[in-house]
A and B are shown apart, each in its own frame.
Chain A
Amino acid sequence: MSFDASAGRAPTPVYLRLTDVVKTYDGRTNAVDGVSLDIRRGEFITFLGPSGSGKTTTLMMIAGFEALNGGSIELDGKDLARSRPYERNIGVVFQNYALFPHMTALRNIEFPLRMRHFPKSDIKKRAEQALALVGLSRFADRHPRELSGGQQQRVALARGLVFDPDLLLLDEPLGALDKNLREQMQVEIKRIHREIGITTIYVTHDQTEAMTMSDRVAVFSGGKLAQVAPPLEVYNRPANRFVGEFIGDSNFFEADVDPKRPGWVDIPAIGPVRVAEDHGRLPSQGTIDLLVRPERIKILTANDGDHMNALDMTIDALVHYGDSVLAIGTSRGRPLRMRVAGTPPAELKEGARLRVGWAPQDAHAVARS
């Protein structure tokens, strides 16, 4: 193939480069199926996807725990294929922490330094610094079983960082923690990333984590990359229907492009609606998926002009979140979801029939795959 690997990639200097990475376990189906990705130095990138989408396998290949069946991984211009995991300089934090049960927190953190033959005086200083960085100086002599889940996670983080690795890999590190602790650790991990500036790859199936923490999100689906973009772009302009449905709440309408009326598409049973052309990469004809986020739909009043796309919605159920209300209903037999922020207006009741709508620029057209 005469395909130029650099074509169409980001112009910024590449630190970690994945090129057509393939992994198969049974020789027939590919768990990772041709993933190519460039990661910049200092970037915080999240691998997001459902279980079995290949995100963890990709991470394990970067760490060196799984061999590639095709493609290559380069770190700072050097091919990693020949180096064993312990020859790479990559810190890994595992989902279940993987702290050594027979060593104290401090010994766990010193372990990579001793294995890498850091000078004796350096080892103690660095380990203590790392413990201080995660705020656990008082717990240096505790064994993992004597620490809470959150504390264990901090020790694992310190252990993964203490030897100044080139990369930090986190494999669903907060999966075992409860919600409040998870948010606290998200903030903590972001703070540490800011302080150290280490290139970080974060694997998760939790879209909130991906949205709040990352510089960019790489969405995995079926062993392939569905989209790689900053969080807001992934949310507002998903590359395909899978990404749009996986991240956030969504309304998808199947719609036909009318070649004779630019700026309009036709949703069967609902009718023609306007779309802003600069937002949607509309093909000149055929069928597209039209995404409208529930929070973009609002109850129309007399003041709303006729530039809004309007339809009638029957409210079947209301879900109160405290800060907002999700209305679940139908419009001409098609399911429709609308999220209203703040105190819900009086007319929003179960069984009510309301005139709702959205502005053309709030819809996003996705080519059918």
Chain B
Amino acid sequence: MTATTITDTPRHRPLESRSAAAWLLLTPGSLFLILLFVVPIGYVLLLSFTEPKVSLDHFRRIFTTPLYTSVMINTFRTSLIVTLSCLLLGYPLAYVIARRNDAVSLIFLTLVGLSFWTGFLVRTYAWLVILGNRGPVAATFGVLGLEPPQLLFTSFSSTLGMVNILLPYMVFALLSVMKKIDPNHMRAAASLGAPPTAAFRTVFLPQSLPGVVNGSVLVFTVCLGFYVTPILLGTPRDMMISQLINQQIEELLAWGFAAALAVVLLAVTSFLMILYNRFVGLDRLWG
């Protein structure tokens, strides 16, 4: 191409956007988020090694005190259990919704949405009633003549509550991928001689794996920092990191140490997000 044919004279006003216009549109939102989100997060970072004095003592304590390392391990373990439980319950549910395109799938979808949009606290309160020592579960044990076990304020009740709250996230993440799987693929597999389970295993499951990854990353990271439910339904004996943060602030007013814990939590979730972003792309996560 000869360069002389390209004469971008000013009289040809381009309709395409200029990046100046882009920045004009993006500046208010970006500025808001930098000043009123990034700065507060930075403040936590600052607090973690300057309160009460400039040092890395808080971090040293977190990683050397057995109590705190066991909280870390417990947080990971609980998050893993919650994630796997959500996957186990969510996958068949999402599968049914995605594969049957009828009233049944619409009912399921509506009920999942109903659960999703009812706040955490309504559902947490309900578990308090269900698992409480005057609740239906304890009553059932009583009818059977058994001593009801302590269900509430254990890591079991906390885990159950979190699974209940995070299950819709998992279902939606799975669904957004499963919906895109061409139903003809399963028909093709059947016509090629694959029985239903084999067709599922070889055709549907591999294509749904991105949804499994998305849902798991989403649930796991939310779970790591889950605040309300562990505090209300859990026990101080098996603390998760958010409970520890709460305890440090409410009982000890140890802001610096709480900030250091928050920074560790942030570092872990960021690491997971960076990993995810590297291999999948962050904007896919919320489908």
Contact = CB atoms under 8 A, between A and B. Distances in A.
Interface of A: 20, 22, 24, 27-30, 33-34, 64-70, 81-82, 84-85
Contact of B5 (A22, A64, A67): A22
Contacts of A28: 1
18 contacts: A24-B1, A24-B6, A30-B5, A33-B1, A34-B5, A64-B15, A66-B15, A67-B14, A67-B15, A69-B5, A69-B6, A69-B7, A69-B8, A69-B12, A70-B5, A70-B6, A81-B11, A84-B13
Contacts of B5: 20, 22, 30, 33-34, 69-70
B5 to A, nearest CB: 5
Contacts of B16: 67
A253 B75 CA distance: 78
Contacts of B8: 69
Interface of B: 1, 5-8, 11-16
Contact of B7 (A64, A70, A82): A70
Contacts of B1: 24, 28-30, 33
A24 B14 CA distance: 12
A65 B15 contact: yes
B127 to A, nearest CB: 45
Given A20-B5, A81-B12, A85-B15, 20 more contacts: A22-B6, A24-B1, A24-B6, A30-B1, A30-B5, A34-B5, A66-B15, A67-B12, A67-B13, A67-B16, A68-B12, A69-B5, A69-B6, A69-B7, A69-B8, A69-B12, A70-B6, A70-B7, A81-B11, A82-B11
Contacts of A30: 1, 5-6
Interface of B is mostly: loop
A68 B14 CA distance: 8
Contacts of A82: 11
Contacts of B6: 22, 24, 27, 30, 69-70
Nearest to A68: B12
Nearest to A34: B5
Interface hub of A33, A34, A69, A84 (most chain B Cβ within 10 A):
A69
Contacts of A68: 12
A283 to B, nearest CB: 28
Contacts of A22: 5-7
Contacts of A85: 15
A24 B8 CA distance: 10
B213 to A, nearest CB: 34
A85 B13 CA distance: 11
Contacts of A66: 15
Contacts of B15: 64-67, 85
Nearest to A28: B1
A324 B255 CA distance: 89
Contacts of B13: 67, 84
A64 B11 CA distance: 13
User: 8 smallest A-B Cβ distances: which pairs?
Assistant: A67-B14, A67-B12, A70-B7, A22-B5, A68-B12, A69-B6, A81-B11, A70-B5
Contacts of A64: 15
Nearest to B14: A67
A165 to B, nearest CB: 19
A233 B7 CA distance: 35
Contacts of A67: 12-16
Contacts of A65: 15
A82 B11 CA distance: 6
A65 B11 CA distance: 15
A68 B5 CA distance: 11
A69 B14 CA distance: 9
Contacts of A69: 5-8, 12
A66 B14 CA distance: 7
Nearest to A60: B15
Contacts of B7: 22, 69-70
A7 to B, nearest CB: 20
A84 B15 CA distance: 9
Contacts of A70: 5-7
Contacts of B14: 67
Q: Which of B7, B8, B12, B14 has the most chain A CB atoms closer than 10 A to its own CB?
A: B12
Nearest to B7: A70
A29 B16 CA distance: 18
Nearest to B13: A67
A24 B12 CA distance: 13
A123 B126 CA distance: 62
A251 to B, nearest CB: 34
B60 to A, nearest CB: 55
Contacts of A81: 11-12
A159 B244 CA distance: 66
A276 to B, nearest CB: 39
Contacts of B12: 67-69, 81
